[in-house]
Amino acid sequence: MSQKILLDKVTIPGIKTYEVYRANGGYASVEKALKTLTPDEVVEEVKTSGLRGRGGAGFPAGMKWSFIDKKSGKPRHLVCNADESEPGTFKDRYLMEFIPHLLIEGMITSSYALGANLSYIYIRGEYMWVYKILERAINEAKAAGFLGKNILGSGYDLELYVHCGAGAYICGEETALIESLEGKRGNPRIKPPFPAISGLWSNPTVVNNVETIAAVPWIVNNSGAEYAKIGIGRSTGTKLISASGHIKNPGVYEIELGLSVYEFMNSDEYLGGMSSDRPLKAFVPGGSSVPVLPAHLIYKTANGEDRLMSYESLSDGGFATGSMLGSGGFIVYNDTSCIVRNTWNFSRFYHHESCGQCSPCREGTGWMEKVLHRIENGHGREEDIDLLLSIQSKIEGNTICPLGDAAAWPVAAAIRHFREEFEYHIRFPEKIKNRDHFVAEPFEKVKYLVAKELI
Amino acid sequence: MKVTIDGHSIEVEPGTTILQAARMIGGEVVPPAMCYYSKLKGSGGKCRCCLVEVAKGSEADPRPMPKLMASCVTGCMDGMEVNSKSSPRVQEARKSVTEFLLINHPLDCPVCDQAGECDLQNLSFEHGKSETRFIEEKRTFEPENIGPNIQLHMNRCILCYRCVMVADQLTDDRVHGVMDRGDHSNISTCISKAVDNEFSGNMIDVCPVGALTDKTFRFKSRVWFSKPYNAHRDCPTCSGKTTVWMFGDEIQRVTGRKDEYHEVDEFICNGCRFDHKEVKDWIIEGPRAFEKDSVINQNKYNRKLEKVEIATESHILIGREEDRKKISMAEFPLTEEDIINQKSLGNNG
Amino acid sequence: MERTHYKQEINITEALMSRINELINHYPEDKRKSALLPVLHEVQDAHENWLSIELMDKVAEIIQIKPIEVYEVVSFYTMYNQRPIGKYMFEFCQTSPCCLNGVEDLMDYTCEKLGVKVGEPTPDGLFEVRGVECLGACGYAPMMQLGDFYKEHLTKEKVDQLIEDCKNDTIILHDI
């Protein structure tokens, strides 16, 4: 049983309410920080902890905090990114729905560290019932004196509000989120300037993921050094993993970073193995944006080392044989799933979610989707595979925000590892007419049709 | 501050963008720009045509920037070294962007009033391919009537946002904007309202393509058949300094006076543009030397951009020291492993 | 792009207005525009889940911004509807993890049962089926959003039951 620091209290009956949360040690970090620590000391603890941004990019949180502009004297803001919409990811929702006060507590302690007096939680519009849960939690915290003027007599003031989006994946990008919070279309901004200098209403702003902020209370209570002891190497602490697909026990799990992928997949404490007796075909470890990996690269890296649930191990081998931890959206595929259809599905998602501001993403995502749709529907041409690789490489790195890369990577990875499946779709259109064609005839059975002859 | 672009060095003031520095140098180092417009605040960064390679960040931090940068929104640093036309990576990126801009474009140049003075034509001439790889159905939009003066052809639009900025920055009553999102984003009033503000005609001048054209000039002539003359009149609303486009004694069209980069010197009012088409309305100063590399090129245009206008670039200076740190992340050095990972990322696909 | 103009009865009640003012107060005084997204949600919920031009103009007036700024935002975000829609909108998540768990078959089943195509309301205006992108419930697939709530681990039987409940008007759409 590995250590839990986010979800350890989630099963306590009534933990959603302020009274129960408080009675179980809640809001201790606010008391400790406001009464005994300076804001800079809190920042230092978070730096020492090695906590990395849990939204996907993995940038060190303490470092991000230290960039905030304190010299200009402008009001500062902390914005929590709860616009969780990366396919395969549903951990923030779980945390906010079942233990909302942990996020509120993290927001207060973190806002204090940054010297922010007005902070927001930006939640995706579809999580409307969670929005209401958070609103209630904020009201409770305010009534108990943890929000508002002169919190705990410390002289520190903080107002905290929830703001809801309205259906746009792109608002998970921090500058698009800020635009959306300002009541505009979610078009990402050109950086620099970064939000730490000029963010919400041109004020210095830090945007952090829900899970990142929720880890702060534990760090403040137990020290950054203690947090850094959990995990492995530069992947410190615990991580929430959202698991879905063809597994026995889908759901949200808190793991210590460094757990082996094999154990996570197969032990009964976690995913419990595949949902049926069918073999494992592929997995996506960090949400739809990160490269898909074929079965032989899942439990072992290309060097034959055990693959671990950590930033470093999952990206071992680069994109050639590795992937990324990303947001921790763990999607598992058995041999009935069709990689071409899945790639088209992801491509449709990015096409649908592109904001349309910059040309490579606006035009390129639509183009890729159309080509993939043709292949999936039996109208592919041999040259389409290289065309897809070419389009994705022209998007990658040339866009304003990372959505372009996120749309490009899954296509490249699918072709890199499953090229023969694309060839099969192109050469045998009559065999792939039904979307569930691999149920009756998994690819392993028909692979000989497209396999290169070995002489 | 000294900046070097394709081997040409120039001294610039802080806040100057790479694109502006390149324009001061002039010639082949100047990156193409489809969305940036120096007279419109906040423009640029969207079309990605002007991507350049920063081979050396600055004297203080000489490391190269890993990604290509949009030169129109990236500020110069002292000692910065930039590769524009000389970089194969940049050339490849410009080709890619050109292809993206063309896949859904109708390519209806033979019936487009912008033909001959179209930035997309020029871009395709420089960076386009003779063949298309796009066999899908092109995206199209239902037409919308936006009033008696301006013709909107959404299918030709490249979404530079310049016309939206004109409406925001020159008028206090913007009635059109960008609707929907992704590749269905479109310029629209949403309610088919007439765009008839006194300065709305400038949307036509800033449009880099034939998406917004002058209805009063529609199908009258090909632009290269009419002759441009600088002219002025005493106008109560604007400076009255325009270019009139004449065919014989007839004024077919009135526009702002555009420079080498197709930017107007001064914005003009709709009165001058649409309602004064008689020769007697104008004091004609003489033929206008014209144009960089369009089909109406007379190779007479040679005004150098002597002093850079940095009023609209002030945001480049905001937090530049901190930004410099973050771009290069000096405080967060890469481990060897990261470098290997990055290399393999670079080789991906 | 030319758009069809639909008519709608507008009714900004006192209760709605006081909720709107509460939301506006979440932002600094000179940043009223920031309240646009939450206000649009409230207004839409109170107007049969869609926003006509007149209603958007009304919101612009309340927030004190230009109408075009509201149109731009409404057309960007998928949760705002610009035409009358079915009272009970079954929004099935159709992104990969839900597909792995059979959402496509379930959508086909629901459409057939209601006798509609995706994106078309039933003639009585009661139901509409829509495919949407990832709703963040991948571990509880297949699922759909109905009003403010998620209906997860769906089966054909559960869909049948939901349709019954909607017809009997025993479904709660909004969390108050």
Closest CA of chain B from C171, distance in Å? 31
ipTM, 2 dp: 0.96
State how far the alpha carbon of A353 is from the alpha carbons of A87, A187, B185, in Å: 12, 11, 12
The CATH fold assigned to A339-449 is: de novo design (two linked rop proteins) (1.20.1440)
| B72 inside domain | yes
| B190 inside domain | no
Chain B neighbours among C 124-153 (CB < 8 Å)? none
Look at C175 and A128 and tell me if their CB atoms are within 8 Å: yes
pTM exceeds cut of 0.90: yes
Q: List the domain boundaries for chain A.
A: 18-229, 232-334, 339-449
**C99 annotated among ligand-binding-site residues:** no
φ/ψ of B241, rounded to 5, equals -90, 115
- From B137, which residue of chain A is nearest by alpha-carbon distance? A370
Closest CA of chain C from B217, distance in Å? 22
The CATH number of residue B85's host domain is 3.10.20
pLDDT by 10s per residue, chain B, length 349:
999 999 999 999 998 999 999 999 988 999 999 999 999 999 999 999 999 999 999 999 999 999 999 999 999 999 999 999 999 999 999 999 999 999 999 999 999 999 999 999 999 999 998 889 999 999 999 999 999 999 999 999 999 999 999 999 999 889 999 999 999 999 999 998 889 899 999 999 999 999 999 999 988 888 888 889 999 999 999 999 999 999 888 999 999 999 888 999 999 999 999 999 999 999 999 888 655 554 454 434 444 545 555 556 676 677 666 655 555 444 444 566 655 665 554 444 3
A232-334: CATH number? 3.10.20.600
What's the domain count of chain B?
A: 1
Q: What is the dihedral of CA C101, C107, C110, C115, to 10 degrees?
A: -160
Residue ranges making up the domain that contains B335: 2-95+304-346
Is the peptide bond prior to A192 cis by the omega test (within 30 degrees of 0)? yes
- From C134, which residue of chain A is nearest by alpha-carbon distance? A87
Closest CA of chain A from B300, distance in Å? 33
Q: Does C108 touch chain B (CB under 8 A)?
A: no
State how far the alpha carbon of C71 is from the alpha carbons of A242, B70, C3, C46, in Å: 36, 30, 12, 18
Residue A431, class by beta-carbon neighbours within 10 Å (0-12 exposed, 13-18 middle, 19+ buried)? Answer: middle
Q: Which domains does chain C have, with CATH numbers?
A: 14-76 (1.10.10), 88-167 (3.40.30.10)
Helix (H) or strand (E) holding C104: helix C103-114
Give the largest CA-CA distance in chain C: 52
Closest CA of chain B from A67, distance in Å? 7
Quickly tell me which residue has 């592109």 as its tokens.
Answer: A354
Of the candidates A84, A185, A342, which has its C-beta nearest C136's C-beta? A84
Look at B191 and C53 and tell me if their CB atoms are within 8 Å: yes
Nearest Cα residue to A245 out of A191, A198, A284 = A284
**C111 annotated among ligand-binding-site residues:** no
Sign of CA dihedral A379, A385, A388, A390: negative
| B123 inside domain | no
User: Residue A156 and residue B186: Cα distance in Å, rounded?
Assistant: 47
User: Residue B318 and residue C42: Cα distance in Å, rounded?
Assistant: 37
| B175 inside domain | no
A25: left (phi over 0), alpha (psi -120 to 50) or beta: left
| B77 inside domain | yes
A18-229: CATH number? 3.40.50.11540
Look at A67 and B325 and tell me if their CB atoms are within 8 Å: yes
Contacts of A390 in chain B (CB under 8 A): 133
Q: Which of A92, A98, A126 to mutate to test the interface with C (most CBs of C within 10 A)?
A: A126
User: Residue B115 and residue B109: Cα distance in Å, rounded?
Assistant: 6
| B63 inside domain | yes
Helix (H) or strand (E) holding B243: strand B241-247
| B49 inside domain | yes
pLDDT by 10s per residue, chain A, length 455:
578 999 999 999 999 999 999 999 999 999 999 999 999 999 999 999 999 999 988 999 999 999 999 999 999 999 999 999 999 999 999 999 999 999 999 999 999 999 999 999 999 999 999 999 999 999 999 999 999 999 999 999 999 999 999 999 999 999 999 999 999 999 999 988 999 999 999 999 999 999 999 999 999 999 999 999 999 999 999 999 999 999 999 999 999 999 999 999 999 999 999 998 899 999 999 999 999 999 999 999 999 999 999 999 999 999 999 999 999 999 999 999 999 999 999 999 999 999 999 999 999 999 999 999 999 999 999 999 999 999 999 999 999 999 999 999 999 999 999 999 999 999 999 999 999 999 999 999 999 999 876 55
Look at C138 and A250 and tell me if their CB atoms are within 8 Å: yes
Contacts of A353 in chain B (CB under 8 A): 182
